[in-house]
Amino acid sequence: MTTGARPFFDAMAESYDDLEPWYDHLYAVLHRLVRAELRPPPGAPRLRALDAGCGTGFQTAILLELGYAAMGLDISSGLLRAARPRCADAGLVQGDIEALPCRDGTMDVVISCGSTLSFVTRPERAFAEMARVLRPGGRLLFEVEHRWSLDLAWRLASSLAGDPLGYGAAPREARRAFAAPLGDSIAMDYPGYPRLRLFTRSALHRLLDAHGLTRVRSWGVHGITNVIPSPVLHRATLGRATGALYRGLCAVDRALAATRAGRALANSLVVLAVKGERRAPAPTSRQAAR
């Protein structure tokens, strides 16, 4: 994990469930997708699922509701304490997504939400670990911060105007986010957060391919809602007019989530992938001749 992530999440454990308007919409979409995409088939034996970066157990509780034998893992002991009342029937473990305490091929499902993968130091290691613990044919559902969002433009505009929106970025730093190659992920600082990684879709596809994971479907969250700068939505409440506008934008955002337009400028990307089946080694020329 990124240096400082553990104390940051420990410090916010008591208020973690107090969702700002930004996170209220994000988790509403995520939880709908978890229920729709990861529901076990009727009559299936009890399957095993890992919530990697479980926080206070939002997604772990849904996995239990769906009938999984669920395990929740988080780097923060404070968040795990807060998760126990919600997830009494789950195994909750303190650990790092870059070194999962699970045997190879033991999980039918792995999920990682709440931008967990945007806080890791070595995303390639985290993806390798999630692929390792999945059985062949197992499913991975994850959510990350996306680089090419309208909020990146708001951040640059605010920095050039003296930062009235409160992004906390100087003009030079804000411009640097646009200077990296178009297909590369970037790391950025946001006020009050550990350093965040913003992924591109092409970078995610490379990570999936490198670890035997095939993308099935993907969605965008907070694309249309980025008409409102994110610092405005990272508040306890919204004014009446802003709140009404935001609710309307959220409805459009949900409708466009699975479309190319909904993904293109989304602040968060959600991806469903499947681990490839094991293949028997190709026969040698001598074996083929028999």
Say how far apart CA 192 and CA 162 lie, in whole Å. Answer: 19
Average pLDDT, the chain: 92
Q: Which two tokens stand for residue 11?
A: 């410090």
Angle in degrees, CA 182, 185, 190, rounded to 5: 115
Say how far apart CA 220 and CA 236 lie, in whole Å. Answer: 24
Q: What is the pLDDT of residues 194-248, one digit of tens each?
A: 889 999 999 999 999 999 999 999 999 999 999 999 999 999 999 999 999 999 9
> In this model, does residue 23 exceed pLDDT 70?
yes
Q: Which amino acid is at 244?
A: A
> What are the CB-based long-range contacts (under 8 Å, 24+) for 7-14?
8/193, 8/194, 9/55, 9/74, 9/75, 9/76, 9/78, 9/79, 10/76, 10/77, 10/78, 10/79, 11/78, 12/78, 13/56, 13/76, 13/78, 13/79, 13/81, 13/82, 14/78, 14/82
> In this model, does residue 138 exceed pLDDT 90?
yes
Domains identified in the chain and CATH numbers: 5-147+195-276 (3.40.50.150)
3 band by pLDDT with thresholds 50, 70 and 90 = low
Q: Residue 1: what pLDDT? A: 67
More confident residue, 2 or 144: 144
Say how far apart CA 120 and CA 144 lie, in whole Å. Answer: 11
> In this model, does residue 139 exceed pLDDT 60?
yes
Instruction: Answer whether 0.75 is exceeded by the pTM.
Output: yes
Say how far apart CA 112 and CA 73 lie, in whole Å. Answer: 10
Q: Which two tokens stand for residue 1?
A: 């994990």
> In this model, does residue 254 exceed pLDDT 90?
yes
Q: What is the DSSP letter of 45?
A: P
Q: Which two tokens stand for residue 289?
A: 């001749």
> In this model, does residue 285 exceed pLDDT 50?
no
Q: What is the pLDDT of residues 29-68, one digit of tens each?
A: 999 999 999 999 988 899 999 999 999 999 999 999 999 9
Under 8 Å between Cβ of 126 and 213: no
Q: Residue 56: what pLDDT? A: 96
Closest CA to 188 of 220, 222, 152, 228: 152
Q: Residue 217: what pLDDT? A: 96
Angle in degrees, CA 189, 78, 195, rounded to 5: 10
Q: Residue 178: what pLDDT? A: 94
Average pLDDT over residues 172-176: 93
Q: What is the DSSP letter of 13?
A: G
> In this model, does residue 279 exceed pLDDT 50?
no
Under 8 Å between Cβ of 119 and 234: no
Stated length of the chain: 290
149 band by pLDDT with thresholds 50, 70 and 90 = very high
Written in H, E and C, the secondary structure of 104-141 is CCCEEEEEECCCHHHCCCCHHHHHHHHHHHEEEEEEEE
Q: What percent of the chain has pLDDT over 70?
A: 94
